[in-house]
Amino acid sequence: MANELTGRRRGKPAGEELRRRVVAAVLEKGMSRNAAAQHFEVSDTSVARWIRRYRQHGHLREAPRPGRPSRIEPERERIFAVLERRPDLSIRALQGALAARGLVLGTGSLQRFLVRHGVGRGRRPARHRKRAPKAAGRS
């Protein structure tokens, strides 16, 4: 359920605009941290953290999250070049075309990459094979 005041769903991270409004309410309007937390429906801890971040760094942007650098993002142009030539490729066919060019990627990684860039591939219907006729007397 979305909060009417903030437009944010419970459990989702607060955006920079909400953080800015909360910090402004405390630092510029003199609202207490607890009152601001209740008013904007965020935790006291978050308010304290945002104020500390603003005072230390002068901004409210999130710090970069740790993790391994992406192997697929630097290859973005190569992937889109293949898709530009053959836009109807399935994920597996795209994976094969990229592998032929020396870029080996998993289907899941490739699928997430395409969805992230708004080029998601829906499931395609399976191709039907002709089945051998059933033998008489077998069910």
Query: Is position 30 within any domain?
Result: yes
Across 7-30, b (16+ Cβ under 10 Å) vs e yields ebeeeeebeeebbebbbebbeeee
According to the model, what pLDDT value does residue 1 have? 41
According to the model, what pLDDT value does residue 122 have? 60
According to the model, what pLDDT value does residue 8 have? 56
CA dist., res. 54 & res. 46, Å (int): 12
Query: Is position 131 within any domain?
Result: no
According to the model, what pLDDT value does residue 137 have? 60
Residues ≥6 apart with Cβ < 8 Å to 12? none
The whole domain housing 106 covers: 73-116
Query: Is position 121 within any domain?
Result: no
According to the model, what pLDDT value does residue 32 have? 95
How many domains is the chain built from?
2
According to the model, what pLDDT value does residue 120 have? 72
From first to last of its 139 residues, the chain has per-residue pLDDT tens of 445 555 555 667 788 899 999 999 999 999 999 999 999 999 999 999 999 999 999 988 877 778 888 889 999 999 999 999 998 899 999 999 999 999 999 999 999 999 988 887 665 555 655 666 676 665 5
Angle in degrees, 0-180, between the axes of helices 44-57 and 33-40, rounded to the nearest 10: 110
Query: Is position 105 within any domain?
Result: yes
CA dist., res. 67 & res. 53, Å (int): 22
